[in-house]
Amino acid sequence: MFSIQILFYFFFFILGLVFGSFLNALEWRLHEKKSLNTRSECPKCHKVISWYDNIPVFSFLFLHAKCRHCHKKISWQYPMVELLLAFLFSFVFYYYSFVGYFSWLVIIRDCLAVFVLLFIFIYDTKYLEVSDIMTLGSASILFVFSLFLHVSWLSMVIGAMIGGGFFLLQFVVSKGKWIGGGDIRIGILMGVLLGWKLLLLALWLAYMIGGLISIILVLTKKKKMMTEVAFGTYLSLATFIAMFFGTQILDWYFRLVF
């Protein structure tokens, strides 16, 4: 039993590395509007990358963070993202091994959700943009997935309406100045993933985290007040926390208050 458990962790770690590599490629391709069918290329010299130079983390180390052809630096973000997703996939497996209701379908859905959240996190931080295909596309897939898991469709629909509506309202009132249209789509995705109760918690968390980080950035003079913030970054982080720790946070909060 013990060794099988370790084998599964290893499997999810490798799976995370592979999907992390895919995530890196997807970020770049969606932003550059390149097809997904073409082979990977160096973003600097545009030479096609051979499979042996495209192995997650290992190729980066082996090539000393430089392209084999043009010798320009490869960003450390690539192996970081691969490692991060490897840990996140392992975490999902760990979480459901201990939470008391183990189901492969739930694990697959949550690995997919974590992949999408990490994608939004990086994309919004890097480009100050939100990809419609990733938000609305994954919201639809995750909705159908959750139906198979007997998640209440009503809770998801109400969640999507509150999440989308919350940002739509701000968008209309401020004529698009406070938030971008992308946040409306993230709100819909959050509602589908969390249901309305945890969605409210996630929104609160996002504002708390966002506020805290803004204060730190202003105090350390990294940013001026009112500079554009990538709110999708905070929303995806808050959604992750609410997904896996939301119920405990709410329990703890209500025990404290009542």
- Smallest separation (angstroms) from Zn ion to the CB of 73: 10
Residue type (1 letter), 209 = I
- Smallest separation (angstroms) from Zn ion to the CB of 46: 7
CB of 67 or CB of 141, closer to Zn ion: 67
CB of 40 or CB of 170, closer to Zn ion: 40
Tell me the C-alpha distance between 170 and 181, whole Å.
10
CB of 40 or CB of 247, closer to Zn ion: 40
Number of residues that bind Zn ion (CB under 5 A): 6
Q: Restricting to residues 31-90, name those near Zn ion by CB under 5 A.
A: 42, 44-45, 67, 69-70
CB of 73 or CB of 222, closer to Zn ion: 73
- Smallest separation (angstroms) from Zn ion to the CB of 67: 3
- Smallest separation (angstroms) from Zn ion to the CB of 60: 13
Task: Provide the binding-site residues for Zn ion, judged by CB under 5 A.
Answer: 42, 44-45, 67, 69-70
